[in-house]
Amino acid sequence: MSTGKKKIEWVANYMPLLNEISKMGQPLKNWKIGMAIHMEAKTAYLAITLHKLGAEVIATGCNPLSTQDDVAQALAEMGITVYAKRTHDENEYLKTVHKVLDHKPDLILDDGADMTVIAHTERKEVLENLKGISEETTTGVRRIKILQNEGKLKVPVIAVNNARMKHLFDNRYGTGQSTWDSIMRNTNSLIAGKKVVVAGYGWCGRGIALRAKGLGAHVIVTEVDPIKAIEALMDGFEVLNMDNAVEIADIIVTSTGNRDIIKEEHILKMKNGIILANAGHFNVEIPMEKIEEMAEEKFEARTNVTGYKINGKTIFVIGEGRLVNLAAADGHPIEIMDLSFALQSLSLMYLSENYQKLDNKVYDYPKELDEKVAYMKLKTLGIKIDHLTQEQIEYLKKF
């Protein structure tokens, strides 16, 4: 079996919701779906699922760096049209987006909104046939809302990220686990007893802090929001400002969604051997340029780990300050992506059935589909929950 096929078969074992959905018949028969996605095993299995539901799927990446060619190859062999290649530069990548659009898809499944924006600007002719878009990320939704505000959005869009089954789970449990998986495998360093600084106590930060505690670390949280700071405190963590935290830190993980969380003066105060990792979306939280500039020497210390000698001390950065679980490990755990992609599949099916009733605007993820995914997950786990009686429904109306 090819390596690509093997990778896809592996994730298929732990994606029970996609497996369940793929048995739902042919609701997407005669629907052409254009996908722009990270071309790796988990997303590949989503493409296959849509294909099983009857759709013609035409796919490319959403970032050439994340494309795994063996997976793309396997997908192609399974009946998906694939244009992604790892070696593509930015320009070549954009050409593949155009190639997908050449197919005049009925639906777009987008990740970051490149395909959506191009369809609405350079390739307006494809809008004629386009009936709906399902967008995975917050960043993508933000870009689409600009189109909407300018009156340029021509199809209904479903924002998948605000589904409860997505944002409640992938940040806390996905990022929480995979950040530590990455740090442990890349450093072989003991977490128990370490002083771990988590910058930012949003959903990601909470997950990272919780798992660090679970691994025996002494966790210190930094925040700019005073209320979140008190939450961290009452969750049993120490709260310091970065200026004080950096002096005692063995490991710092940034997850703020903001830039320059670590500043020049902080770098000078760090302990020798400190490990820095970023779990925020963009690689601006750890100031890589500043570090490169300050370093007297830079060297590869271990696969995925770069050492910088600064002022007589050595600082280690994992995955070049990029999202540590993706840049230096396998991204979110499979089951987390299964939840997200179940939401995506239902979103596309929903658009195919309801697009005529929908306006050309960004819709929140439909509550009933959100709960449907939750019930499917419970079913695959064999878990039964309670249901409101009529009396209870009445009671809730009153109180």
Residues 163-202 that bind a second copy (CB under 8 A): 164-165, 168-169, 172-174, 176-177, 181, 184-185, 187-193
The CB-of-201 to a second copy minimum distance in angstroms stands at 10
Longest dimension (CA), the chain: 72
The CB-of-225 to a second copy minimum distance in angstroms stands at 8
The CB-of-187 to a second copy minimum distance in angstroms stands at 8
Among 32, 38, 51, 211, binds a second copy (CB under 8 A): 211
Distance CA(6)–CA(71), nearest Å, equals 9
- Find the angle CA(325)-CA(331)-CA(332) to the nearest 5 degrees: 110
Among 128, 289, 297, 383, binds a second copy (CB under 8 A): 383
> Interface residues for a second copy in 125-154 (CB under 8 A)?
139, 142
| 247 touches a second copy (CB under 8 A) | no
Q: Considering beta carbons, is residue 102 or 225 the nearer one to a second copy?
A: 225
Q: Residue ranges for the binding site for NAD(+)?
A: 137-139, 202-207, 223, 279-281, 325, 332
132 CB-near residues (< 8 Å, 6+ apart): 106, 107, 108, 155, 156, 157, 158, 348, 351, 352, 355, 358
Q: Please give the size of the binding site for a second copy, defined by CB under 8 A.
A: 97
Q: Considering beta carbons, is residue 289 or 396 the nearer one to a second copy?
A: 396
Q: Considering beta carbons, is residue 62 or 246 the nearer one to a second copy?
A: 246
Residue 179, token pair as written in the block? 């950040």
| 391 touches a second copy (CB under 8 A) | yes
Compute φ and ψ for 122, nearest 5 degrees. Answer: -75, -25
| 159 touches a second copy (CB under 8 A) | no
> Interface residues for a second copy in 260-319 (CB under 8 A)?
260, 273, 282, 284, 299-302, 305, 314, 316
Distance CA(283)–CA(324), nearest Å, equals 10
Distance CA(150)–CA(290), nearest Å, equals 38
What is the pairing mode between strands 107-110 and 132-135?
parallel
> Interface residues for a second copy in 214-243 (CB under 8 A)?
214-218, 222-227, 229-231, 233-243
Q: Residue ranges for the binding site?
A: 137-139, 202-207, 223, 279-281, 325, 332
Sign of the dihedral defined by the CA atoms of residues 211, 212, 217, 223, in that order: negative
H/E element, 374: helix 367-380
78 CB-near residues (< 8 Å, 6+ apart): 48, 51
What is the signed CA dihedral for 354, 357, 359, 364, rounded to 10 degrees? -50
Q: Considering beta carbons, is residue 125 or 243 the nearer one to a second copy?
A: 243
Distance CA(62)–CA(94), nearest Å, equals 9
Question: What x-and-dash track marks residues 333-352 binding a second copy by CB under 8 A?
Answer: xxxx----------------
Among 87, 381, 390, 397, binds a second copy (CB under 8 A): 381
